Amino acid sequence: MILPSMRFAFLLLFVLTQLATAQTKVYFSPKGGCTEAIVTELGRAKSSVFVASFTFTSTEIAKALIDAKKRGVRVSAILDSSNETEKYSAATFLQNAGIPPLMDHKHPIFHNKFMVIDGATLITGSFNFTKAAETSNAENLLVIPDAKLCGQYLVNWQEHSKHCERYERKEAKANSRTKK
């Protein structure tokens, strides 16, 4: 039997533990755990993941997104249009897994690299979702638990999504083009 005061103590401990873990973390490439950090955060996703990515070739990160999708998490991605022609882009991989990415053709480069997880955790930095970014490039990656900041990124994501086209068959492009 747990006394009320003990329950309160447990609750307090739980809250303090949550606060202690909810801190911004930073990782640096090469081989500084960026990919692992992203995969870990994606593994915790419960409801939604919004991705904005320039180059995307990391199989590990693509797999983590697909695993999240299989758990019932809503996964949405905007990619730079170069991913349509990149031989090793994760675009097809995602598409085949039921996550049809949106392609942003509006800018010379869609240079964003961020993810918003459950509207609560923001992942961003110079780190592209590629193997080279993990193993050889000099990059940084921040994991920021900040719902307000996530909200700002989500607004930006939505804005871009309005002029994107689906990465799929040509006939599907007709509708999205009219949105410009």
What residues are annotated to the active site?
A: 111, 113, 118
- The enclosing H or E element of 8 equals helix 4-21
Site residues (vs Zn ion, CB under 5 A): 104, 106, 160
Measured at the CA of 141, the angle between CA 118 and CA 107, to 5 degrees, comes to: 80
Which residue of this chain has its Cβ atom nearest to Zn ion in the complex?
160
Strand partners for 141: 27, 125
**41 or 104: whose CB is closer to Zn ion?**
104
In order of 64, 74, 91, 176, the CA distances from 97 in angstroms are 12, 13, 10, 22
In the complex, minimum distance from the CB of residue 82 to Zn ion, in angstroms, rounded to a whole number = 14
Minimum distance between the CB of residue 19 and Zn ion, rounded to whole angstroms? Answer: 36
Least distance CB 117 / Zn ion (angstroms) = 21
Report the alpha-carbon distance of residue 38 to residue 159 in Å, rounded.
24
Looking at the Cβ atoms of 160 and 166, the one nearer to Zn ion is 160
Helix (H/G/I), strand (E/B), else coil: 40: helix
Nearer to Zn ion, 7 or 106 (CB): 106
